[in-house]
Amino acid sequence: MIILIVIVFALLGFVVSRKLKSKFNKYSQTALRANLSGKEIAELMLADHNIYDVKVLSVEGQLTDHYNPLNKTVNLSPDVYYGRNAAAAAVAAHECGHAVQHATSYAWLKMRSAMVPIQNVSGKILNVVLIASLFGGFALGFPYELIGAIVVGAYGVMTLFTLITLPVEFDASNRALAWVRDRNIVTTDEYAMSKDALKWAAMTYVVAALAALATLAYYIMVFFGNRD
């Protein structure tokens, strides 16, 4: 069952990832009428929200864009940093949406940030317990129910983290789309492209959350289901 879950969501994740890259490449072909680069759009959005302590940087890779709240940097991949198209505008504004969340103490982002160390510890505990059980954890006298409780608890934390990530990502996209529209960064057609690109970006997080829920349900069934 766990192998089936992994295969199904791995395939689903692959399809969504391919679709996202396809959309990004498609919308990168149309030049933005405003002729602004992703870097310029990011800096303009930050300034419009009175955020002056966040730097906009270029990082290597494709679709590696992210906001780092620890050093307050908006990190854009080269295609976004230098790009002057609807896809670059959408991604740059989305990452700045996270910076705005940080600056305004957005509740879901604060909760997600607070969970990062807990999630990391849960992942390590889960790995240790699963490896120990494979190499005779039960034979060494560890109660089956105790191992189950630890596994379900640890994976429950990780699943909760993926669920909390959803409103954070959706809100950042909503902030980005509202700003590029109201600031006349994009035309009506460019807005539709930006919205579609961010929709597929959000789908990657939806798939991750569904995969986590399915895996958690599997562990609950294995350890606490009816074994009569």
Reported confidence tier of residue 136, pLDDT bands at 50, 70, 90: low
- Determine the pLDDT at residue 106: 97
**What is the residue-averaged pLDDT of the chain?**
91
Active-site annotation, residues: 95
Task: Dig out the tokens for 198 from the structure.
Answer: 């961010």
Torsion angles phi and psi, residue 41, rounded to 5? -65, -45
Reported confidence tier of residue 135, pLDDT bands at 50, 70, 90: low
Residue 78 burial (10 A CB sphere; 0-12, 13-18, 19+)? middle
Mean pLDDT calculated for residue range 41-69: 96
- Determine the pLDDT at residue 71: 95
Write down the pTM of the prediction: 0.88
Reported confidence tier of residue 138, pLDDT bands at 50, 70, 90: low
Q: Compute the distance between CA of residue 36 and CA of residue 42 in angstroms, rounded to an integer.
A: 10
pLDDT of 177 > 60? The answer is yes
Higher pLDDT, 9 or 24: 24
pLDDT of 145 > 90? The answer is no
Which strands make up the sheet holding 66-68, listed edge to edge? 55-58, 73-76, 66-68
C-alpha neighbours within 13 Å on the C-beta side of residue 188: 0
pLDDT of 37 > 70? The answer is yes
Q: How many helices (H) and strands (E) does the chain have?
A: 7, 3
Lowest mean pLDDT among 3-12, 25-34, 84-93: 3-12
Instruction: Yes or no: say if 178 and 122 are a contact pair by the CB < 8 Å rule.
Output: no
Q: What amino acid occupies position 38?
A: G
